[in-house]
Amino acid sequence: MAQDVITDSKGNFIFGVPTTTIQPELSSKNVGFTAPIHQFYRKMYYVLDANSGDTINTMAKSQILFFKANAVNNSKSTLIFDKKTNYSPVVELGYSWGFDSLINPSAKAGFYFTYSVSAFGEYQNFNYYDTINDSFSNSKTNRFSPGIRGNLSIFRSTKFVISLSASYQHSIATDNLTSYQNRSNTFYIDDNVASNGTNDGYFSPIDPTRNYRLSISLPQFWISSSLGSKLPFALTPYYYVNISDVYIPKNNFGIVLSFLSKKFDRFDRNSNGSFNSEARFAFAQAFNIGYNIVSAGSKDPNYFFVSGTFSLNTIKDRIVKGLPRPKKK
């Protein structure tokens, strides 16, 4: 299933690795979980040691059917649930090709990858803002907005990752809209549009439109080990763009500092450089502090955000327990 290791403030994908465990997820404006439903297929990867001829297992991967559910806060900068909060429940069903366990991935020359594809639906239940009376009306959108997404993560040994994501949703646009309070009358003149200074409203068509999100990120794990840090971390520069029928493309760029449960770079090597046959790794826990440096067209172009995930064991112990070990010399 698609575990989102790093997300933005609304829980959108920045970097992720499909796994076989239940993964609760939390960010500044999102809370949810991902869970496996069914394991279709499992494969063990290995290489042969050129000197000894021993088999060195590198990783175990599985095809998984997964389910994901979360709630996104659309009206506040932090995730708060009260009667005034405008949030959208989202459900997702998908297929992933990911890790049961990473064993000795640095023995595998070149690159290896994981991916996931899914269909999702968001229940949009927004109140419309009455610009004449300066208040929210009783009218609501009350619609189910479908979409599809795909994620791909390409690993280079245990050093770094290239992570890509693309999504499409037929929905009422809610991201990166123009605030009517902040827009100059040089560009927009309407006596009915006003602000009492306490509500934040945006220009958006009532009808659903085509909305796209494309992202790329480059998680760097080698920095932590090269500095000899006792606290494992990764630095991830990211870029994503939101594209819609109703606004020009909105570019976002930032960087995320992720604290991991243990180091990833060279986790499968002993201090003398030899392979550690007992080593295992999974992206089970991560706590992220992000800084969005550029957010074109946004009311808050620069902002900090936090996100995180952790693992609840399900079928993982059964899978890892049965892994064959490399032959000993």
Q: Percent of the chain beyond pLDDT 70?
A: 70
> Integer distance in angstroms from the first to the last C-alpha of the chain?
36
Mean pLDDT is highest, among 171-185, 209-223, 234-248, for 209-223
Q: What pLDDT is stored for residue 29 in this prediction?
A: 67
**pLDDT at residue 78 tops 70:** no
Domain limits of the chain? 2-321
CATH of domain 2-321: 2.40.160.40
Q: What confidence score (pLDDT) does residue 130 get?
A: 63
Residue labelled with tokens 């550029």: 294
For residue 173, count other CB atoms closer than 10 A to its CB.
21
Residue type, 284: A
Share of the chain above pLDDT 90, in %: 28
pLDDT at 86: 62
pTM, two decimals, is 0.78
pLDDT in tens, 283-293: 878 899 999 99
Cβ(69)–Cβ(88) below 8 Å: no
H helices within the chain, ranges in order? 222-226, 316-321
**What rounded mean pLDDT belongs to the chain?**
77
